[in-house]
Structure 1
Amino acid sequence: MSAPLAATATATAPQLSLSEVMREMIARHPDALIVSTCGFTSRELFNAADRPGNFYLVGSMGMSAPVALGLALARPERTVIALDGDGSLLMNLSVLPLVAASGTQLLHVVVDNGMHESTGGQSTVQRSDFVALALAAGYRAAVRVETSDELRAAELPTGPTLLHALTGPRADGPGRRVTHTPQQIVERVRAAAGHPAS
């Protein structure tokens, strides 16, 4: 029986955090449209880098990749990032072949802390091999990172690509809740995507 993926991390290297992964993705793709999964992930993105191109899915678990796919299909010239969690993706694994077949510039970032942290820290199934799942579904590329150095060095080509980032539990609180209404979030993202306001 193989060891859990978490056990393969270097014992002396500090674990990645959601905020570190998020900052790296924004630095690489400052103009990307970002769809963040519900709970603490959206709250952390809101507090760290509230921007018009952020689509906060405040209460829609399992839907960050499908919504990001819709944006990527509507705006094929744009980089779209689905900021997902392990629990969220496990809830909707059927999206993987759809993303793979899309031919879009979607970057699917799965931040995996092995738990449903937003609802009390209940464990997910275990550290799943999302890289193998994405490649089997037909993603152009999939990469797993466990340290800051690996994150910075990760090559993420254009196309349906998955980044599986193994992270530790949150060190502090997630910050304020998203203060924009769902209607405001939609209008901001529409404008950022270059679509006329409704």
Structure 2
Amino acid sequence: MSVPHTAPLTLSDIAAELLDRHPTAVIVSTCGFTSRELFNAADRPGNFYLVGSMGMAAPIALGLALARPGRKVIALDGDGSLLMNLGVLPLLAEAGGADLLHVVADNGMHESTGGQQTVRRTDFAAVARAAGYRGALRVETLEELRAADPGPGPSLLHVLTGARTGGPGKRVTHTPQEIVLRVHGAINADPGAEPRTAVLTGAVR
């Protein structure tokens, strides 16, 4: 019998689940610890690590999803990052048919800049539904994360996480120019030929 996962979810849990469940997706990660977490979990051409672009993971993911219909695109966002750009939610909601999953890792703080508290624990799933997302779920445990299915995109997965207990791992070693070239190659490749597709993510801020 499996032992329940009782510790707070971590960004590592989220990255591992996304990479396992969506091995051919394109992942866009926002700046800060989120991109570092994804880089250390599995560095691959399909990962679009954002640098100094807080609040832009979802818009960039939307652009890629619209430019390449049928490609799975994941925006890995943070609560602080999304709060900076809530106006993007109705835009994503209007992208009917886009295979776009918006994942918000919510630890209630701007962790990458020192742990300053965000305004409050916003119910991003409720906000997404109000904006017109086709589906939105909120999860708090590993079991809920693994079972979560917010439905066809555009959809949102709001994942409550705890504060980081260890270091964020090494920094992304690719230059912004290299990252763009890698993602360009991945997004234009035959998805059936790729062992891994890029996933768009946003850093936990």
Q: TM-score scaled by structure 2?
A: 0.88
Which among 68, 71, 81 is matched to residue 74 of structure 2?
Answer: 81
Unaligned runs of 5+ in 1: 1-11
Instruction: Give % identity.
Output: 72
1:14 aligns with 2:10: no
Instruction: Give how far 1:25 is off.
Output: 1.1
Instruction: Give how far 1:146 is off.
Output: 0.2
The whole-number CA distance in structure 1 between the counterparts of 2:109 and 2:153 is 28
The whole-number CA distance in structure 2 between the counterparts of 1:47 and 1:154 is 24
Deviations 1:33-52 (A, max 9, x none): 00001100001111111010
Q: Would you say the 8 A contact 2:9–2:142 is kept in 1?
A: yes
Aligned to 1:34: 27
Secondary structure in 2 matching 1:102? coil
RMSD: 1.1
The whole-number CA distance in structure 1 between the counterparts of 2:41 and 2:7 is 21
The whole-number CA distance in structure 2 between the counterparts of 1:152 and 1:33 is 19
1:53 aligns with 2:26: no
State how 1:88-127 maps to structure 2 within 5 Å. Answer: 88-103=81-96, 104-127=98-121
The whole-number CA distance in structure 2 between the counterparts of 1:78 and 1:163 is 18
Secondary structure in 2 matching 1:193? helix
Q: Which letter maps to 2:16?
A: R
Post-superposition, which runs of at least 4 consecutive aligned residues in structure 1 deviate over 2 A? none
Aligned residues: 184
Secondary structure in 2 matching 1:83? strand
The answer to which of 171-180 and 114-123 deviates more is: 171-180
The whole-number CA distance in structure 2 between the counterparts of 1:42 and 1:25 is 14
The whole-number CA distance in structure 1 between the counterparts of 2:151 and 2:129 is 14
Secondary structure in 2 matching 1:72? helix
The whole-number CA distance in structure 2 between the counterparts of 1:159 and 1:112 is 20
Secondary structure in 2 matching 1:42? helix
The whole-number CA distance in structure 2 between the counterparts of 1:188 and 1:155 is 29
Q: Would you say the 8 A contact 2:15–2:37 is kept in 1?
A: no
Secondary structure in 2 matching 1:189? helix
Aligned to 1:140: 134
Secondary structure in 1 matching 2:185? helix
Aligned to 1:157: 151
